[in-house]
Amino acid sequence: MRTVSDMPRLALAMHDSAMLYEVAIAAEILGVDRAELSPGGRWYDFVVCTPDGAPHPWLPDAKTAPYSELCQVDRVVVPSTDAPDADPAPELVDALRAAHRRGVSVAALCTGAFVLAAAGLLDGRAAATHWMHADDLARRYPQVEVRADVLYVDDGDVLTSAGKSAALDLCLHLVRRDLGATAANGVARRLVVPSHRSGGQAQFVAAPAEPRAASGLAPTLEWARARLDSPLTVRDLAGHAGLSPRQLARRMHAEVGSGPLDWLHHQRVSRAQELLERTDATVERVAASSGLGTAATLRRHFQRTVGVSPAAYRAAFRLR
């Protein structure tokens, strides 16, 4: 039986100018217990933090706590603000600073980056925000390296995302980083959303692009996924889709955001992640089953894409 101590504690730090869309994304992806999707049967111990711990009208059934509880969790998520030009509440700023000093990881969705910047947590760091507000963030906080060209930035203990759908990408990335690729891919499939590649500095990322809803390439990509342990070429995919290789490349860039070879590579690394999490197969067997050939090839590509060795990844995510 799972206990609360087995689950990473995550707080959603609500504030007066929070925007409903990003709050809903965080609550849906991080706040709904989907332990059945995690090989270790773990999920977040999710709490909504308000200034005095009172329930928030948008999330009336969620467990709540005051801002002072931010120091007691593993991760804090700050939703976007519809008033980025206004100073955030001092009590929230102080609570975020105190939590970060105690080693709590902090993530901001969209314009929530302005809240972290006001707390000084982005000083000397790269950070993402909605492209419409990137210049303003850079002007108000010149000590922040604002990245307007990425979906999100993972700087270890501080993470930020661009707007709207990129907030969803960052939340899925948090699941992948905290609970593993199997859990993140399961959530993406359940919500019928694509998994995106990281736009920033990610430690545990090999998120394969997936076809958008009603994609004409979906049957071909599903066919390829079922054959990842076989040698597949661009011509193989193009032939199955009834397209020329050049046509396939254009369609894939339009529908999944990457070319055929990049897509195959990330599908194979993602398959390797899932096998490392869910099975006791040797590295050699994982390499063969994911189409990466030898153990040496797997280690090289895995280290380059995910940022750690297969052994370290398995130690972190295998049936915890």
The residues spanned by each domain of the chain are: 4-191, 218-317
Q: What angle do CA 99, 104, 109 make, to 5 degrees?
A: 95
Average pLDDT over residues 61-67: 97
Q: What is the model's pTM?
A: 0.71
pLDDT value, residue 215? 53
Task: Name the band, by pLDDT with cuts 50, 70 and 90, for residue 198.
Answer: very low
**Residues β-bridged to residue 115:** none
Domains 4-191 and 218-317 share a fold: no
pLDDT tens figures, 207-264: 444 444 445 788 999 999 999 999 999 999 999 999 999 999 999 888 777 889 999 9
CATH superfamily of 4-191: Class I glutamine amidotransferase (GATase) domain (3.40.50.880)
**Strand 158-161 versus strand 105-108 pairing type:** parallel
Using an 8 Å Cβ cutoff, are 52 and 12 in contact?
no
Give the residue among 54, 76, 75, 73 at the shortest CA–CA distance from 65.
Answer: 54
pLDDT value, residue 194? 58
Q: Which CATH architecture has domain 218-317?
A: Orthogonal Bundle (1.10)
Q: How far apart are CA 33 and CA 22, in angstroms?
A: 18
Task: Name the band, by pLDDT with cuts 50, 70 and 90, for residue 12.
Answer: very high
